Amino acid sequence: MRTLPRSVPAPGDDRPEAELVALARSKDEAAIRELIRRCNRQLFRVARGILHNDSEAEDVVQATYVSAFTKLEGFRGEATFATWLTRIAMNEAYGRLRRQARIVNLSEYRKEVEKGITNTMRPPPTTPEAELGRAEMHAFLEQAIDALPEPLRLTYVLHDVQEMTTREVADLLAVNPITVKTRLFRARRRLRDVIRRNLATDFSGVFPFDGARCAGMADRVVRALSGASEG
């Protein structure tokens, strides 16, 4: 298997995003791994917010990276690299929903959402890995967020969990900032009664994607890119 070239990152690798992207265009492995490390959590949270399933969300994240790093000429720098990747991940996730016949047409689905008559909530999956890997509070918070209707859930995850601005969320979802604020109000109102007896407000561990899991994603993407470079 052909290996990717690799630069030597500085300790902590605080190189600017633009430098890393430029190196990634040359298939530099260290730069690719660092970009993956920086973006993993956001992409996973967004994909999971759409698909409501850890395994499928992880597949989407991997597919997003492979697609993005093999077509980096499509990145014009008009938004941050993470935002560009997030759009790709959303398209991939919604594509999976369409293939699964969860929804037929995204534009029609969004119209129904605005009318307030669509609820795509599915029962949250319970897996041994999820039960063993998360603390009790994080599991509770995840279940509360999972119970939100999909448009409210995705908006809430992007804004309150991922800490994106209202404008960033609006641009990413292609909706008006007022719509974002309305969805946030509804999401918070639904969550309020669920979590009012729980004083913990640390959301940093919700939908985690780091450590060995993060490294494993980087390994898989690098292998896929190495295989693609042989073709």
Which residue ranges of the chain lie beneath pLDDT 50?
1, 10, 102-106, 109-110, 112-124, 127, 129-134, 199-201
Report the phi/psi class of residue 54: left, alpha or beta, with left for phi > 0 and alpha for psi in -120 to 50.
alpha
Which tens digit of pLDDT belongs to each residue from 64-76? 999 999 989 889 8
Q: Residues with Cβ < 8 Å from 53, sequence gap 6 or more?
A: 125
Cβ 103 vs Cβ 97: under 8 Å = yes
Q: Residues with Cβ < 8 Å from 68, sequence gap 6 or more?
A: 74, 75, 84, 85, 88
Q: Which helix (H) or strand (E) holds 37?
A: helix 29-51
Could you give the residue ranges of the DSSP H alpha helices within 134-176? 136-146, 150-156, 166-173
The CATH code that applies to domain 17-230 is 1.20.140.160
Cβ 181 vs Cβ 166: under 8 Å = yes
Report the pLDDT value the prediction gives residue 180, as an integer from 0 to 100: 94
Neighbours of 209 (CB within 10 A): 20
**From CA 36, how far away is CA 16, in angstroms rounded?**
14
Report the pLDDT value the prediction gives residue 226, as an integer from 0 to 100: 66
**From CA 32, how far away is CA 48, in angstroms rounded?**
22
Report the pLDDT value the prediction gives residue 228, as an integer from 0 to 100: 59
**From CA 140, how far away is CA 201, in angstroms rounded?**
12
Q: What is the pTM of this model?
A: 0.66
**From CA 3, how far away is CA 203, in angstroms rounded?**
38
